[in-house]
Amino acid sequence: MTAVGQSQGEVRAAITTAHDRVWASIASPGATLPGTKRCAIVSEARAASICSLCSRRKQAIAPAQVDGLHASPSLRAGLLTEAEVEIVHKIVTDPGRVTRTWVDQQLAIGISDSAYVEIASLVCLIRVVDTFRKGVGLPELAEPDPLPGDPSGYRPPSAADEGAFVPMIPINGLDEDTSDLFNPRAFVPNVQRAFSLVPDSTRLANQLMQSHYLDYQSVTQYTDDDHDRSISKAQMELVATQVSLYNDCFY
Amino acid sequence: MVHGQLVSDVPAGEVITTFVQSALGADEVALQVARRRVVDRLGWERFVDLTAVMAMFELNTRAADAIGIPLEAPSVEGRNGLARRFGFDARAGGFAPQE
């Protein structure tokens, strides 16, 4: 267990370790983005929650018809492009209305499919850390300081169209560089493969799942005899359902 | 479902529901009250565990929708069948929204 300062108790070390790993990863160059852009996405994801344009679009029947400028610290500072800011804000504020058409529009502007996945995964990872800390009453972590270096440019050679908006690694498409991402001999939920175009994001998501909930391969068939969490399966599934409803998640 | 029988069947379901809604919202005072009620009712360890699940589904829901992953084949017919019964929007083939 790890003490967490202003909070009222302690947090399991596995949780804080996973958060530390996410934050350290954000600072480093990714597959397509340098550390500067990755770190800027932290502030951008937080700013999206109070963006008036996003608020108006969220209330609109047809969000694409609501014009305006995002309230964006990164755009003003020249750290992110308009397309990158649009992706961050949409996934934070209205993820349930992301469509293939909208994703294709971002790709047509010049965002690569790998960059789209990297940005989307960073938003998701940041939301885990920020939501947990807000929930237990801890202050937000400071935006990390970017580390120098170039993006790796790594792209899994087996990534293919699997019916999603962007390519994923097929269940039988792992190689020696990606063999740790999931177990193809067990049930692999598609959400575990969602970020597999950027394998490091899948690795971080896997660690967060194991420390916050259960590993991906257990979630469809676990019972209260299969986990050591202090709350019941019914309570965990109630929470999961509520978040899904709140975010209007189709999956 | 959340405000109906299911919630009352889950131990502490009402305080959990209020906490999650508050944590995902913007009312800091409501969150403080809801947090206190959960801790008082369930204790700190359980509170941390349910907060962790809540945080994780902020990733899972957004990952699914941002990437547009299809439903797994075994889930498609069951989910769509249930959706049709309740008049929800079924997804032919289990694919995410295209337009």
Give the tens place of pLDDT for each residue, A167-201.
Answer: 999 999 999 999 999 999 999 999 999 999 999 99
- B-chain residues near A209 (CB < 8 A): 56
Q: How far is CA A149 from the centre of its chain?
A: 22
> What span, in angstroms and rounded, lies between the C-alpha atoms of A197 and A144?
24
Q: Supply A15's token pair.
A: 């949780």
Residue B1 has pLDDT above 50, yes or no: no
- Give the residue carrying structure tokens 């529009």: A105
So what's the ipTM on this one? Answer: 0.94
pTM score > 0.90 for this model?
yes
Chain B, 37 to 96: residues with Cβ < 8 Å from chain A are 39, 42-72, 91, 93, 95-96
pLDDT tens digit sequence for A23-55: 999 999 999 999 999 999 999 999 999 999 999
Taken in order B41, B32, A209, B44, the sign of the CA dihedral is negative
Of the listed ranges A134-138, B4-8, B48-52, B92-96, the least confidently predicted one is B4-8
User: Measured between CB atoms, which of B2, B32, B56 is closest to A242?
Assistant: B2
Per-residue pLDDT, averaged over A225-245, amounts to 91
**Average pLDDT, whole number, for chain A?**
94
